[in-house]
Amino acid sequence: MTSCSLLILNLISGTGNVPVPGEAVERQVRSYLERGCPLLLLHGASAAFWQWDWWRAMVGYRWVRGADADGFEASTHPSHPCLVQVAKSRHPLCRQLKPMDLPNDEIYIRLEQTCPTVTLMETTIPEGTFPQCHICRSPWGGAVIGFIPGHKPDVVRNPDLIANVNCLIKFLLES
């Protein structure tokens, strides 16, 4: 993974026929991050490598699976249409991101905050207000962005969602 400029993850290992990675993959991912390289976590990717203690602690807001290794209550994902708004924050990305009016889809809520983060986007649904995009730093200094919306095809194809993901990629590649 020495030639990788940006690691983008979108799946959770051990689900949907995605195998749980072995020690060699763990060493490669950790080596990449230890170089201070950036990471973009899409949808449920905060739990991409849920089985690694060090991973769970560094992703900002983490999707907590059932029977969590750290003993936290599982996250939930009610389905609602929602407006994902740019957070009231001075982070420079907040001037570039666009609000998104999304159709009915899973909304990841009740995540565990694993480290200091800045919320970039959030949504308010009947269950409360929840971060939908955040940024933090890995223990090695690299930027980690979690972008949670996007499960169903009509949501993933939303032009504003696509524009926001492109904005995040550009930011991470330039940082």
How is the chain split into domains, by residue range? 7-174
pLDDT for residue 18: 81
CB 155 within 8 A of CB 172: no
Distance CA 27, CA 23 (A): 6
Look at residue 77 in the predicted model and tell me its pLDDT. 96
Q: Please give the chain's pLDDT, 175 residues, in tens.
A: 558 899 999 988 888 888 889 999 999 999 999 999 999 999 999 999 999 999 999 999 999 999 999 999 999 999 999 999 999 999 999 999 999 999 999 999 999 999 999 999 999 999 999 999 999 999 999 999 999 998 999 999 999 999 999 999 999 999 8
Whole-number pLDDT of residue 126? 96
pLDDT on residue 78 = 97
Contacts of 66 (CB under 8 A, 6+ apart): 74
- Amino acid 1: pLDDT: 53
Q: Which residues contact 74 (CB under 8 A, 6 or more apart)?
A: 64, 65, 66, 68, 110
CATH H superfamily, domain 7-174: Class I glutamine amidotransferase (GATase) domain (3.40.50.880)
pTM summary value: 0.96
Measured CA distances, 85 to 18, 120, 126 (Å): 32, 9, 15
pLDDT at 90: 97
Give the C-alpha separation, 38 to 152, whole Å: 26
Q: What is the pLDDT of residue 2?
A: 58
* pLDDT at residue 91, as a whole number: 98
According to DSSP, residue 5 is labeled S
Please report the pLDDT score of residue 164 as a whole number.
98
| Distance between CA atoms of residues 79 and 99, nearest Å | 19
